[in-house]
Amino acid sequence: MNPRQRWGKQAETKRGSRVIELSNVSYSYGDRRLFSEISLALPAGSFHFLTGPSGSGKTTLLKLLYLELRPQAGQIALFGQDAAGLSRDQVALARQRIGIVHQDCRFLDHLSVADNIALPLTVAGRNVAAERGNMNELMSWVGLGAQATSTPPQLSGGERQRAALARAVILSPDVVLADEPTGNVDWEMSTRLLSLLVELNRMGKTVLIATHDLHLIRQAKAQVSARVLRIREGKLQLAGSDL
């Protein structure tokens, strides 16, 4: 089974159906209103970029999308279910369908790269030993086959980001959310990471990338149909065709 067949699997979503939806969501930090009544629908199989100046709330919005944060007003639905009515176990199951590429990667430095990538399998109660062949294939797909036994501090910035992407998709999620995945790598590695994310989208994954990099957005729009969203003054806007 090749990567397209294995990690292209989707759990229960159909292309075009809404996998995550925000309705009139507001969120504040203390007295500072970050978002005010924003709405967003991510259809299955879509590709989005999220832009905005530093401090505008891109990372906070991603955390709302996978329920690390809860809205102070408004509603969030995951895979057709109102998040407010989900139990802790149901939230955990829903999160298994969302792969997260964090800006800081969040590795356990005492574990090997392979063991870090396998952590979602362990948390989900899967048999990691039985998945070893899949693991090896996934690591080769992201170009890290030779680094399986290395530890995260031994990796370059680009290798760390590719390892983070592999960890995000190990459970074959329906959605991949990436927070500034190319922020600390050179242009060649940015292009390689983008190619992997575009390939995931072509497999049927919903992809949302938070980024400052307008060159990356322009390159992606030449390869895939992508919407560009911009956070501005607490509102979410569809960016113009100048990008």
Domains annotated for the chain, with CATH where assigned, are: 3-238 (3.40.50.300)
Q: What is the pLDDT of residue 239?
A: 79
3-state secondary structure of 228: strand
**Helices 157-169, 187-202: inter-axial angle, 10-degree rounding:** 10
**pLDDT digit of tens for each residue in the chain (243 aa)?**
344 445 555 445 565 588 999 999 999 988 888 998 999 999 999 999 999 988 889 999 999 999 999 999 999 999 999 999 999 999 999 999 999 999 888 899 999 999 999 999 988 888 888 888 888 889 998 899 999 999 999 999 889 989 999 999 999 999 999 998 887 778 887 888 888 899 999 999 999 999 988 888 998 888 999 999 999 888 999 876 444
- What pTM, to 2 d.p., does this model score? 0.89
**Helices 113-123, 157-169: inter-axial angle, 10-degree rounding:** 20
Q: What is the pLDDT of residue 242?
A: 47
Q: What is the pLDDT of residue 212?
A: 86
Q: What is the pLDDT of residue 38?
A: 93
Contact 79, 19 (CB under 8 A): yes
Taking the C-alpha atoms of residue 99 and residue 124, their distance in angstroms, rounded to an integer, is 13
Q: What is the pLDDT of residue 133?
A: 85
* 88, 30, 98, 240 alpha-carbon torsion, rounded to 10°: 150
Nearest to 93 by CA among 120, 70, 57, 113: 120
Q: What is the pLDDT of residue 81?
A: 93
DSSP code at position 149? T
Output the six-digit token pair for 43. Answer: 């259809």
Q: What is the pLDDT of residue 189?
A: 79
Nearest to 214 by CA among 99, 65, 51: 51
Q: Cα dist. 121→85, 117, 178 in Å?
A: 26, 9, 19
Q: What is the pLDDT of residue 169?
A: 92
Q: What is the pLDDT of residue 1?
A: 39
Question: Chain-centre distance of CA 81, in angstroms?
Answer: 20
Q: Count of alpha carbons within 13 Å of 179, Cβ hemisphere only?
A: 19
Q: Count of alpha carbons within 13 Å of 234, Cβ hemisphere only?
A: 12
